[in-house]
Chains A and B, each alone.
Chain A
Amino acid sequence: MSADPGQFVLTLLQAVAMGLLTGMVYGLMALGLSVIFGVMRVVNFAHGEMMVVGMYLAWLAFDRLGLDPLVSLPAVAAALFVFGYVLQRTVINPFIGLPEHMQFMLLLAVAILLVNACLAIFGPDTHGVQVDYMFDSFNVGPLVLDAVRVYAALVALLIAGLLWLFFTRTRSGKAIRAAADNHVGALVVGLDVKRLYALTFGVGAACVGAAGALMLLIVQVHPFLAIDYTLLAFVIVIVGGLGSMSGALAGGLLIGVSEAVAGVLLQPSLKSVFSFGLLILVLLLRPQGLLARRS
Chain B
Amino acid sequence: MLDVSGLDLHYGDAQALAGVSLHAQAREIVVIVGANGAGKSSLIRTIHGMHRPSAGRITFEGIDIAGQPSHQVVERGIGQVAEGRQVFPNLSVLENLEMGAAPRRARAQEKATLERVFGLFPRLAERRRQAAGTLSGGEQQMLAIGRCLMGQPKLIMLDEPSLGLSPAMTQEVFRVVRQLHADGLTILLVEQNVMASLKLANRAYVLENGRIVLSGTGPELLDNDGVRQAYLGL
Residues of A within 8 A of B (CB): 171, 174-175, 177-178, 181-182, 184-194, 293
Known: A178-B95, A184-B82. A189 touches B89 (CB 8 A): no
Using a CB–CB distance below 8 Å, which chain B residues touch chain A? 48-50, 69-71, 73-75, 80, 82, 86-91, 95-96, 98-100, 102-103, 147-148, 151
B98 contact from A174, A182, A190, A192, Cβ within 8 A = A174
Closest residue of B by beta carbon distance from A175: B99
Given contacts A174-B99, A175-B102, contact A188 B89 (CB under 8 A): no
Question: What CA separation (Å) do A186 and B87 show in the bound complex?
Answer: 9
- CB-based contact B88/A190 at 8 Å: no
Contact B75 A182, beta carbon cutoff 8 Å = no
Contact at B71–A185, with CB atoms within 8 Å? Answer: no
A174-B98, A175-B99 known; A188 vs B91 contact (CB < 8 Å):
no
Q: For the complex, what is the distance from the CA of A58 to the CA of B87, rounded to whole Å?
A: 42
With the chains together, A186 CA to B151 CA distance in Å?
13
Q: Contact at B151–A192, with CB atoms within 8 Å?
A: no
Q: How many A-B residue pairs have CB under 8 A?
A: 68
Q: Are A190's CB and B103's CB within 8 A?
A: yes
Residue of A at shortest CB range from B133? A181
Docked-complex contact A182 and B87, CB < 8 angstroms: yes
A123 to chain B, nearest CB (A): 45
Give 7 CB contacts A-B under 8 Å: A177-B95, A178-B91, A181-B89, A189-B74, A189-B151, A190-B103, A293-B90
A174-B91, A178-B91 known; A191+B99 contact, CB < 8 A: yes
| In contact, B99 and A189 (Cβ under 8 angstroms) | yes
Q: Which residue of A lies closest to B96 (CB)?
A: A178
A188/B73 in contact, CB under 8 A: no
| Known A-B contacts A174-B98, A178-B95, A190-B70; A185 and B90 likewise in contact (beta carbons under 8 Å) | no
**B75's closest neighbor in chain A, by CB?**
A190
Question: What residues of chain B lie closer than 8 Å to A187, measured between beta carbons?
Answer: 48-50, 70-71
Give the nearest-CB partner of A192 in chain B: B71
Q: Which chain A residues lie closer than 8 Å to B74 at the CB level?
A: 189-190
Which of A181, A184, A190, A194 has the most chain B CB atoms closer than 10 A to its own CB? A190
B residues near A174, Cβ cutoff 8 Å: 91, 95, 98-99
Hey, which chain A residues are within 8 Å of B87, CB to CB? 182, 185
Q: Given the complex, which residues of B lie within 8 Å of A188, measured CB to CB?
A: 48, 50, 70, 80, 82, 86, 148
With A171-B98, A181-B91 as contacts: A192 and B69 at CB distance below 8 Å: yes
B95 contacts A189, C-beta separation under 8 Å: no
The answer, among B49, B90, B102, for a CB contact under 8 Å with A189, is: B102
Whose C-beta in chain B lies nearest to the C-beta of A183? B86
